[in-house]
Structure 1
Amino acid sequence: MFNCCSKIVISKRFFNFKEIPVPRVLKEKLDEYIIGQSTPKKILSVAIYNHYLRIKDRKDKKQKLFQYELLKTRIQQEETKVEIAKERARSDFSSESETLADNTAEFTMGLQNMQNRIKTLESELKGEDFNLQLSKSNILMVGPSGSGKTLLTTTLANFLNVPIAITDCTQLTQAGYTGEDVQITVERLLINGDYKKDTTEMGIIVLDEVDKLSKKGGKDGNKDVSGEGVQQSLLKILEGHEVEMTIKRPIDPDHAERQLRKTGVHSPMVKEEKFVIDTSNILFILSGAFVGLDKIIYQRLNPLMTSEEINKLDTCEFVIGKDGVTKTSTMSLVQPMDLVTFGLIPELIGRVPIITSLNPLNEKDLFHILYEPKNSFIKQYEYIFSQFGITLRFTEKALKQISKWAMLNKTGARGLKSILENTLLDCNFECPKTGVSYILITESNVNHLINQSGVTVSGASFSEPIHYYSRGEQDKYIENAYKEDMKLGKELDTLFGRACNNTQ
């Protein structure tokens, strides 16, 4: 559902429209970095695939129109060439003969080939499909904090190698007021697209915390410039609109130095450039936690319940099925009418036809997130410690206890990194270049930190501080790993080339 790294190593090759990965391949890539969330992954993969197919379709049609106009110009030139060839042939020969045909055959054949090509293009241009314009489908992702909304989009953007810009909507205000105008979203994408217009116009803009733009009550009589006002400002760019902007673009220092050597005059390190960006092909992905939306949906599904009764419920995260057992995430049943009730304007919702929700994380999800993804937290910390010659490992029981701790914090997968930082703080501070070669984090070590934090976690009674092992204590290190995690012990035996020792 979530993993710590949003920067993924990718090919330097730019996105190629001829090689749009199919939805299945896109989802497989997401599976490598993100745990769970199968349905949102499918929805996002299909939406991304269809979006770039739409761009490719528009590009191909423009190319055909260009070819058609070019052929029309060239065919006139070819007709002129044929006429000139015939006139020359007539002046050379006194009568029409096979020799005349022979001398003009090459020009005539070229003209016929061109006429055939233009007829084929004309039939394609007149077809019903050619005039069919595919509409853009922006996306809205709803889900609790730390469930992986931003990571889903950044992973796909990096895999496709298209520019992406993420803007926090809490910073936006209506034009003319203190704060950032909605145009800043396109400016950031242009910068991330290396100031290239074509690359920018096939990028992705993520509007995070969009739920914070919900309409305010307005009871105090003040104008809602950071809520409904921003929503209104977003309408044009979401649908497709040319945005004009003047940006101070940094100048390459090497270029500035060359100019200095050439002219003897210092060049400014930035220069102003004007850009016109068409947002028609930019994919907008809106995301937010939408705290309280579950209660709105729950009340719609249970119309006989009053608001007071729903507010008294401990949680509205799940809806129980008719069988009394099956649980469905309340947020997965979201409808446009619920978003209107929440405070989004209908015009905005109409421009975001694809709505998907991410499921709340449970303890099992957090456990798998810790070590399974390619860029998992555990793999990152093991790598960090290996840089200063220390072998760091966590037992399975330790990871499960960390997952329980994170569930209590209710901060989603982001809370895992905070806990790991707290767990390894002293190790990271004390151990580099001190002769410590091995560190094993056990369940009791995690319990020790839990008890120090004042949090109550089940099964955290026995605790002890983290023990550091020197180079000569390798056997003891592996034996202690075996005591709590048989699988880890075998992995360490293999890592250090020991004969498999099933130590109790």
Structure 2
Amino acid sequence: MSIEGLTPKQIVEKLDAYIIGQEKAKKAVAVALRNRIRRIHLSDDIRDEVAPKNILMIGPTGVGKTEIARRLAKLVNAPFIKVEATKYTEVGYVGRDVESMVRDLMAVGFNNVKKEVEDSMREACAPKVEEKLLDLLLPGSDEKAKKSKDEEKPEESTAVAVPNTDNSTREKFRTMLREGKLEEREVEVTVKRQNNMPSMEIIAGGSMDDLQSGMMEIQNMLSGRNHKKKTVSIREARKILTEEVLDSMIDADKVADKAKERVEQSGIIFIDEIDKIATKNANSSGQVSREGVQRDILPIVEGSKVNTKFGVVDTTHILFIAAGAFSLAAPSDLIPELQGRFPLRVELESLSKEDFKRILTEPKNALTKQYSALLSTEGVNIVFTENSIDRMSELAEELNSRSENIGARRLHTIMEKVLEEISFDADEHAGETINVDSTYVDSKLTGVVQDQDLSRYIL
């Protein structure tokens, strides 16, 4: 089904395949996505007036805030990045400026579009790659074959044909190449260094990191270190040459234009830990700094034009999803202007034992499925009994309630501890089926769980 055909209910159903619970948050993002699709069909005079309804997610860590946003972007093939608001709070904004989130999103969009174009052209570039491989295997044979062909005269067609040795050899190698008989033969290829053109982001508001990277690129270009020779197998050379040929076939300007349109119309920026820059007053320099970051973020969320090395990007219709635990601060502690730019508020609930049970078994990427698949690569068949699922879920809820609530991430620490020995000795259990039940779980965890001081560090 196309993205335009997805109703909010169907969007929620697709999110259900990976995220347990949090129905309110799913509905909010589903409606926001559907409104984007509806906006496409509006007349030109009103389309630009309809801005996305940005979302503020409130809830403890590990309950699915980031995953909801990431899966939503993947569902619609939209450019997506996640940034932490706290990275902008250091004195003097050491690190990257606030506009870098837009530049990073544009880079993601460009790479996504470029990959799509490359995939569509991969078959068309195969003949060119084959000729380049033959040139590496038989240096000069292509030029000789062309010269011999040019020297042939029509009036000599009645003469006895003399086989062209070079051309004949090239065709033999072509046949062997297509049959896969030369995959392990080594050849020397010249590899272009990545990003051998200095980035214009240096003068487009980039950070100190961008400046250093750009200066290094300029230095490499001036010193002639843009190419290097490598000895690789034909199999590896084919990959290198394919990328090289694709780069020469792709119109970077068209890719940038398409990426820019996609970023502006369907891009998603997820701003995590936004509660860490909230402040109740401005009595201290730290609080002033946090309020300053909010005011820097505000114009980007409102809609502004940001310079990137791919062109100027308008952020007016980019969807912003902000999230935070808000355990020490409240959404009302954000500056009023920024609050107004996140009209949709959804509160995510802490996870219960039943939620943990579902997380362990229902999603397509459930932890039990992941660990079973990992160990099956070494011939070990792991079977999780129902009572083991119950026990691990119960422990996760208990640990979250009496120490820091890290949500579903608690299951990762528990699963790792339960399967630590099996994972370490997997090679000794090849061909075996190991049942993980509640007794097995208790034998690995009970001592740690009962010692509250120890559980703080271990679980």
Q: TM-score, normalised by structure 2?
A: 0.61
Instruction: Note the alpha carbon deviations across 1:168-194, whole angstroms, 9 max, x for none.
Output: 111114895323211121122112112
Partner of 1:212: 276
- What is the alpha-carbon distance in structure 2 between the residues aligned to residue 225 and residue 23 of structure 1? 41
Distance of aligned partners of 1:132 and 1:417 in 2 relative to their CA distance in 1, 3 Å threshold: closer
Structure 2 residue 24 is matched with structure 1 residue 39? yes
- Quick one: distance in 1 between partners of 2:13 and 2:379? 34
Q: 1:130 to 1:370 in 2, by over 3 A?
A: closer
How far apart are 1:351 and its partner, in Å?
0.7
Q: 1:381 to 1:440 in 2, by over 3 A?
A: same
For residues 447 and 46 of structure 2, the distance between their equivalents in structure 1, rounded to whole angstroms, comes to: 68
1:200 lines up with 2:263 in the alignment? yes
Instruction: Tell me the amino acid that sits aligned with residue 438 of structure 1.
Output: T
Instruction: Indicate conservation of the 8 Å contact 2:275/2:331, yes or no.
Output: no
Q: Distance in 2 between matches of 1:131 and 1:399?
A: 50
Instruction: Give the secondary structure class of the aligned counterpart of 1:145.
Output: coil
Query: Which whole-Å CA distance do the structure 2 matches of 1:35 and 1:274 have between them?
Result: 38
Read off the aligned partner of 2:49 and give its amino acid letter.
Answer: Q
Q: Aligned residue for 1:120?
A: none
Three-state SS of the structure 2 residue aligned to 1:280 is coil
Residue equivalent to 2:85: 169
Q: Unmatched 5+ residue regions in structure 2?
A: 112-258, 401-405, 453-459
- What's 2:96 paired with? 180
Structure 2 residue identity aligned to 1:290: F
Count of aligned pairs between the two proteins: 299
> What is the rounded CA distance, in whole Å, between the counterparts of 2:376 and 2:354 in structure 1?
28
What does residue 48 of structure 1 align with?
33
Conserved 8 A contact 1:164-1:192:
yes
Gaps of 5+ in 1: 1-10, 62-128, 246-272, 294-337, 458-504
Correspondence for 1:96: none
Choose from 230, 233, 248 the match for 2:296.
233
In the alignment, the residues of structure 2 paired with residue 348 and residue 278 of structure 1 have an alpha-carbon distance, to the nearest angstrom, of 18
What is aligned with 1:344? 334
1:420 aligns with 2:456: no
Alpha-carbon distance in 2 for matches of 1:241, 1:360: 36
Q: Does 1:23 align with 2:8?
A: yes
1:172–1:226 contact (8 Å) kept in structure 2:
no
Which residue type is aligned with residue 444 of structure 1?
A: T
> Is the alpha carbon distance of 1:132 and 1:232 closer, same or farther for their aligned partners in structure 2, counting shifts above 3 Å?
closer
Which structure would you say has the larger RCO, counting Cα contacts within 8 Å and 6 or more residues apart? Answer: 2
Q: Does 1:437 align with 2:429?
A: no
Cα displacement string for residues 6-65 of structure 1 (whole angstroms, at most 9, x for unaligned residues): xxxxx9xxxx77x252211101101111111222211221112113422x146x62xxxx
User: 1:174, 1:233 within 8 Å by CA — same for their partners in 2?
Assistant: no
Pairwise CA distance, 1:401:
1.0
> Which residue identity lines up with residue 30 of structure 2 in the other structure?
S
Determine the C-alpha separation between the residues in 2 that align with 1:51 and 1:358.
23
If you compute each CA radius of gyration, which structure gives the higher value, 1 or 2?
A: 1
Alignment match of 1:377 (pick from 354, 367, 371):
367
Matched letter for residue 414 of structure 1 = R
RMSD, aligned α-carbons: 2.4
Aligned to 1:491: none
Aligned partners of 2:51 and 2:317 also within 8 Å: no
Question: Residues 260-271 of structure 1: matches in 2 within 5 Å?
Answer: none
AA at the equivalent of 1:190: M
4+ long deviations beyond 3 Å: 129-132, 173-177, 216-220, 223-226, 433-436
In the alignment, does 2:287 pair up with 1:224?
yes
Name the residue aligned to 1:486: none
Cα distance, 1:153 vs structure 2: 0.9
Distance 1:385 1:436, change over 3 A: same
Q: In 2 relative to 1, CA 183–386 (structure 1 residues): closer, same or farther, beyond 3 Å?
A: same
Q: Identity over the aligned pairs, expressed in percent? A: 37
Q: 1:393 aligns with which of 375, 380, 383?
A: 383
Amino acid at match of 2:369: K
Q: 1:188 to 1:449 in 2, by over 3 A?
A: same
1:455 counterpart residue number = 450
Give, as a single letter, the amino acid of the residue that structure 2 aligns with 1:171: K
1:224 counterpart SS class? helix
The structure richer in helix per residue is 2
Q: Which residue of 1 aligns with 2:323?
A: 287
